[in-house]
Chain A
Amino acid sequence: MLGLNKRDFSLLLIVAILALCAPFLLNPFPADSAMAQFNAGYPDLMQRFVIFGIFAIGFNILFGLTGYLSFGHAAFLGVGSYSAVWMFKLLSMNVIPAILLSVVVAGLFSLLIGFISLRRSGIYFSILTLAFAQMSFNLAYSVLTPITNGETGLQLTLDDPRILGVSRTEDGSIPVTNFFGLEMRDTYEMIVGPWSFQFNNGYYLCAVLMLLSFYIAIRIFRSPFGMMLRAIKSNNTRMTYTGLNARPYALAAFVISGMYAGLAGGLLASMDPLAGAERMQWTASGEVVLMTILGGAGTLIGPVLGAGFIKYFENIFSKINDSVLHSWFSFMPDGLENLLVTLVHPFVGKGWHLTLGLLFMLVVIFLPGGLVEGGQRIARLFRRKKPDDAKKSTQSTPAE
């Protein structure tokens, strides 16, 4: 169906069901219970899950499929955010033109950077993209202040010259982003007993776009074009010897992943109309690399998993403080309780980056295929009796 084979279609269906039911699935604990802090079903976080999912899916097309490790992808996200906010300032508060513009601008920007960077491969490519991204970041902070508003970040003001729409609403506040009148920040709250589920317009817009991007990514993976990208990854020299110019294909992959990043940036700005230069910093590019590797580079579902995983722990882990830890270990004798709290303390709360770094190292060292490979290994343990032939096709190829 939809031009997909049965396996891929069921994968898409599963992702679709998960994404659409996320407000239920991510809120398994009653709102007043002690476990409620593990609930991730609030709009802001759910939006981040899917937006960074889109970002990682796009990055995976370049890194997982084509084998080029870019350390400057956050620049496209930042450019997307800036162009979306400018669209809100100048044209209208409808998100559609903003998102379209951010995809187009990020695409053009990545065409320029990709055209230059792809002249080199391997580590030189990584450093070239890193240099371009740092250049954009530095410029956004300094000279381009009229466009980017420097350190403060670009935001909406009360006197924006909005052509289709009003500069300020009747009660004198800044109008909110909408999808043909449907306000992005509107949330419908459903209360079932002790549970409260939140359905947010913005989240569903992002989720639908994420599904669309996921579908396109599957089609790319299964197309002859995707095959060509895989060939570039496995042996570029041989491709050249067969008389084929591989660079246009790599450039196409670069631009596609840049457009995905632009879409993610545009969505970030649509959910919360501000854009800052720190979105373009190279550590932000590092984050999407982390997501992709952690989930499993080169696999379809991996990047989405990785993005969800990192964003979940970023929000939930960092909320765990000492008093929460004390309440967890309170059943133990006092001395042991204090010892455990002291031991766990550096890894949670503000120190969650430490956990992330350790986890990332462990994944790169022992599990180059990421969470997906981990899942496959566990699955193989349980179904060892069955013949192996079916699984060979599902195995992920580790990233290079």
Chain B
Amino acid sequence: MDAIILQILNGLDKGSAYALIALGLTLIFGTLGVVNFAHGALFMIGAFCAVTLQRIFNISYETIDESRTDFLGNPMTVKTPYIEHWFGPEMGGAIIDWSVPLAILFSIPIMISIGFIMERGLIKHFYKRPHADQILVTFGLAIVLQEIIKYFYGANPIPTGAPEVFRGSFDFGVMLGFDPNAIIYPYWRLVYFAFAAVIIGGVFAFLQFTTFGMVVRAGMADRETVQLLGINIDKRFTIMFGIAAAVAGLAGVMYAPINSPNYHMGMDFLVLSFVVVVVGGMGSLPGAVLAGFLLGVLESFASMNEIKSILPGIDQIIIYLVAIIILLTRPRGLMGRKGVMED
């Protein structure tokens, strides 16, 4: 029993990342009808927002401390970040420590503006072109974005720590009444899951309970009729693109402590999140979320030793296998609407 709960928990954090990226992807597909291969790159840029903010906070000036000496006997130079200088060591240290959560605020305007620029500057011109062209141009864009990041940040992963409070793990099993040490779970993954739940809930609430969201949903269902009613649906869809970009970016920001950001993390996640979208059903938001968590949990179950000993290698291919079976038996995906992209 505890092993099963442990695997479910392990699957949840990856599943949250899949769900968040797939949510953005399917939001773009459902509204604009565009297949965005650059979405993984947005996730990666989000993670690098966290890196950037951490670097900004750590910009320091050097002072020479006469009282201490280094191993050569010279007076030691001490680096003090400006933040600590301005806010005092305690407050400043706390700000630096909390740079990843603070990067959420920092990344939202950046991601939304990147989304706007992408949509207005490039993707707008590809509505009428075939899906293959959209895939190709966004694939090119993904390469460009990835290379730009690589140019500025180098090719190596950059460790970006979570706040001190959330480092380390805790014994989750004891809380549920299992033996101690049965379920050890890192704090940050729990934070990530909660964060993903909040974001997903926020997006759904936005679409469900605001007038803006209602119009967007109407546009997803029947774009032409909404336009005939005199609503500028394109403008709202552009805003939705920005929101989708922000969702991917936030997923990336919070993922930075779990996996040190590197320039190709977007490409690594892209393929999987596409698979997630297809499994959930193209254009279906609940489907994307459900499939994200489902596949994340399935993947972690498949990596259990008991299962691997029966079916070696299953953990590597389970997601693709599920996708192939779903595509062949139920091409509209788990929760896709009948008739959408069903060829």
On A, residues with C-beta under 8 Å from B are: 69, 116, 119-124, 126-128, 130-132, 134-135, 138-139, 141-144, 282-283, 286, 289, 293, 346, 351, 353-354, 356-358, 360-361, 364-365, 368, 399-400
Contacts and interface: CB of A to CB of B under 8 A. Distances in A.
B317 A354 contact: no
A128 to B, nearest CB: 6
* B contact residues, range: 35 or more
Contacts of A130: 271, 274
A124 B341 contact: yes
B147 A353 contact: yes
A249 to B, nearest CB: 17
Interface stretch (B69-77, B129-137, B236-244): B129-137
B143 A353 contact: yes
A142 B137 contact: no
Interface stretch (B9-17, B47-55, B59-67, B324-332): B324-332
Nearest to B130: A400
Interface of B: 35, 122, 125, 130-133, 135-137, 139-144, 146-148, 150-151, 267, 271, 274-275, 278, 312-313, 316-317, 320-321, 323-324, 327-328, 331, 341, 343
Q: Which 6 A-B pairs have the closest CB atoms?
A: A143-B313, A357-B143, A138-B316, A354-B147, A361-B140, A357-B144
Contacts of A400: 130, 132-133
A132 B271 CA distance: 12
Contacts of B131: 122-123
B328 A119 contact: yes
Given A354-B144, A364-B137, 16 more contacts: A116-B328, A120-B331, A127-B278, A128-B324, A131-B324, A135-B317, A135-B321, A141-B316, A143-B312, A289-B139, A353-B146, A357-B143, A360-B139, A361-B122, A361-B140, A399-B132
A282 B40 CA distance: 14
Given A127-B274, A357-B144, A364-B136, A132 B316 contact: no
A353 B140 CA distance: 10
A257 to B, nearest CB: 16
A272 to B, nearest CB: 25
Residue in A138, A139, A364 with the greatest tally of chain B CB atoms within 10 Å: A364
Contact of B331 (A124, A126, A346, A351): A124
A127 B327 contact: yes
A356 B140 CA distance: 8
Q: Is the interface of A mostly helix, strand, loop or mixed?
A: helix
A122 B343 contact: yes
Contacts of B135: 69, 123, 126
Nearest to B139: A286
A123 B132 CA distance: 7
Contacts of A116: 324, 328
A95 B8 CA distance: 51
Contact of A143 (B140, B144, B150, B316): B316
Contacts of A368: 133
Nearest to A237: B343
A127 B133 contact: no
A159 B146 CA distance: 43
Contacts of A283: 267
A123 B333 CA distance: 14
Contact of B151 (A126, A286, A354, A399): A354
Contacts of A139: 313, 316-317
A354 B331 contact: no
Given A123-B135, A131-B320, A356 B343 contact: no
Residue in A119, A127, A143, A365 with the greatest tally of chain B CB atoms within 10 Å: A127
A360 B143 CA distance: 10
A130 B35 CA distance: 15
Contacts of A286: 139
A131 B278 CA distance: 11
Nearest to A293: B136
B343 A289 contact: no
Nearest to B320: A131
A286 B267 CA distance: 12
B316 A124 contact: no
Contact of A142 (B133, B139, B271, B313): B313
Nearest to A68: B132
B341 A354 contact: no
B141 A361 contact: yes
27 contacts: A69-B132, A120-B327, A120-B343, A122-B341, A122-B343, A124-B278, A127-B323, A127-B327, A130-B271, A131-B275, A135-B316, A138-B316, A142-B316, A143-B312, A283-B267, A351-B147, A353-B143, A353-B147, A354-B143, A354-B144, A357-B143, A357-B144, A358-B144, A360-B136, A360-B139, A361-B141, A364-B133
